[in-house]
Amino acid sequence: MGKQAFLFGYGRQGRSLAKGLRTDQFRLHIIESTPEYYEKAKNDKFLDVVLVDVTNDAELEALHIDDDSYIICVMEDEHLNVFLTLSLRALYPNATIVAISDSVYTTQKLKMAGANRIIDIYKVSANRIHNMLVRPVATKLLDSFISDDSKISFREMLIPEGSFLHGMMVEEVSFSEYGVLLVGMLDIELSNTFIFITSGIDHKLDSGDTIVCIGYNEDLDRFANVITRGEVPA
């Protein structure tokens, strides 16, 4: 079975994320506090949709979220999103909490509230603008990749112990030879900070780091298998 995710919020950002998580075969639970968005999620054919008061700790505790689950906070009200993150961290101290931010101030609050990972909309937008200016053709291709009927997708891959990637610098790895494109990585030495490849950092890869690649699904499957090897494939 796929990983389990609890998505709090089915507004504009939440709805888009929910569709992507369903495509990636997550066991998705959608939690809403607004009847209008609750009905939208039901109408979009999501089966596990719950209407709760997210300010009520008893109702949040009744969700029984386990330690291996992802908690994704994308409530449209910025202040409610921070409050929710704080409440969920207190109730589920070992779960991974991902939250969305639209300002540097909100990012700081979410970090203090206990979010493990924060998606900063402004940083994502800045990287997109950078790509449009520096790599217009690649950006156009990437835009065409991200569609409902595309055979190309993003893949998150954990570098395992003993992988030939361990200790290598990013520039030393020819990802294109495997038919994939490196988008960025999560570095465990930097407290799971996501580093976009466009940042220009010549980063050293380590076992336990997570890399994010884009490519055809079959190439991603093949590369995920390749990185388990201890030596650089011939």
Are residues 95 and 192 both part of a single domain? Answer: no
Summarised one tens digit per residue, pLDDT across range 102-113 is 887 888 899 999
How would you class 30 by CB atoms within 10 Å of its CB: exposed for 0-12, middle for 13-18, buried for 19 or more? Answer: buried
pLDDT mean over 89-103: 91
Over 70: is that where the pLDDT of 135 sits? no
Give a yes or no: residue 233 inside a domain.
no
> What's the pLDDT score for residue 214?
82
Are residues 95 and 185 both part of a single domain? Answer: no
In angstroms, rounded to a whole number, what is the distance separating the alpha carbons of residues 34 and 214? 35
> What's the pLDDT score for residue 193?
61
- Token pair recorded at residue 215: 């490519």
Are residues 119 and 142 both part of a single domain? Answer: no
Global pTM value: 0.59
Q: Which CATH number is 221's domain given?
A: 3.30.70.1450
Give a yes or no: residue 59 inside a domain.
yes
